[in-house]
Amino acid sequence: MLNILSIIIGIVALLLAIPSAIPFLGWGNWIVLPIAIVGAGLGALSRSNQGRNFCLVVIVIAAIRLSLGGGIL
């Protein structure tokens, strides 16, 4: 159950991260990171690793985008 919840949270975070890749909307990644971290935490509590790994991928994507934009843009 926690794995499914983690995957759903990861999908929500990914859907929020997609528009954040547009210039001047990169601040949205600051919203995506905590959501994905909560999803990764829930995925770590489950028996399966799929939800946790998916949220970790979303975290990496958001972090790379933040580093490319200097953390603000």
pLDDT tens per residue, range 2-18: 999 999 999 999 999 99
Supply the range of the domain harboring residue 58: 2-68
Q: Give the number of domains in the chain.
A: 1
Say what the alpha-carbon torsion angle 39, 40, 44, 45 is, to the nearest 10 degrees. -20
Look at residue 10 and tell me if it is in a domain: yes
Provide CB contacts within 8 A for 59, sequence distance 6+.
33, 36, 37, 40
Look at residue 25 and tell me if it is in a domain: yes
Residue 73 has pLDDT above 80, yes or no: no
Look at residue 60 and tell me if it is in a domain: yes
The 10s digit of each residue's pLDDT in 49-72 is 999 999 999 999 999 998 888 876
Amino acid at 14: L
Confidence (pTM): 0.88
Look at residue 73 and tell me if it is in a domain: no
Provide CB contacts within 8 A for 55, sequence distance 6+.
6, 9, 10, 13, 36, 37, 39, 40, 43
Look at residue 21 and tell me if it is in a domain: yes
